[in-house]
């Protein structure tokens, strides 16, 4: 098996199976439900069939409560994984519109987190890409 950073952001499934994977940090990560998929992506187009999916390193499957998020008036968009009603979970900054497009994330599905209107919790950010978040 191998890491596949060249496939970053693609949604892939094995022909004849239902599970869709997102390539994240070069690893395939299972999307646990239709509801989670629909919270993130524009549509069901461009899910690639790959006969060699088993050759890509496994990553941890996504948790059900994974979503796109903004904080207050901050225009930055984050990929939020996990959390609950009081905690936004692990945050990864989506660095640009180009990253939104590469992953085919749907900007209309971004939720506003009211509990931190001044911005994301300090130290909770990792970048979805190698680009750093500007201060």
Count CA within 13 A, CB hemisphere, residue 34: 2
pLDDT of the residue at 1: 87
Neighbours of 88 (CB within 10 A): 23
Band (pLDDT 50/70/90 cuts) for residue 133 is: very low
CA–CA dist 132, 135 (Å, integer):
9
| CA pseudo-torsion sign 111, 113, 114, 120 | negative
Nearest CA-CA partner of 20 in 35, 4, 5: 35
> Residues 14-51: pLDDT tens digits?
999 999 999 999 999 999 999 999 999 999 999 999 88
Q: Is the pLDDT confidence value at 124 over 70?
A: no
Of the candidate ranges 22-31, 89-98, 116-125, the one whose mean pLDDT is the lowest: 116-125
Of 117 and 45, the one with more pLDDT: 45
Of 58 and 135, the one with more pLDDT: 58
pLDDT of the residue at 117: 63
Contact 7, 50 (CB under 8 A): no
Q: Is the pLDDT confidence value at 123 over 90?
A: no
Report pTM. Answer: 0.84
């Amino acid at each position: 098996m191998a890491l596949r950073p060249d496939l970053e952001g693609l949604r892939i499934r094995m022909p004849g199976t239902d599970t869709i994977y997102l390539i994240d940090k070069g690893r395939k990560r299972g999307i646990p439900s239709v509801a989670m998929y629909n919270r993130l992506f524009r549509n069901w187009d461009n899910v690639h069939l790959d006969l060699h999916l088993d050759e890509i390193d496994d990553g941890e499957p996504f948790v059900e409560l994974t979503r796109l998020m903004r904080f207050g008036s901050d225009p930055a968009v984050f990929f939020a994984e996990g959390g609950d009603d009081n905690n936004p979970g692990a945050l990864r900054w989506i660095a640009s519109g180009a990253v939104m497009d590469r992953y085919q994330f749907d900007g209309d599905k971004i939720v506003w987190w009211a509990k931190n209107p001044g911005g994301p919790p300090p130290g909770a950010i990792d970048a979805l890409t190698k680009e750093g978040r500007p201060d």
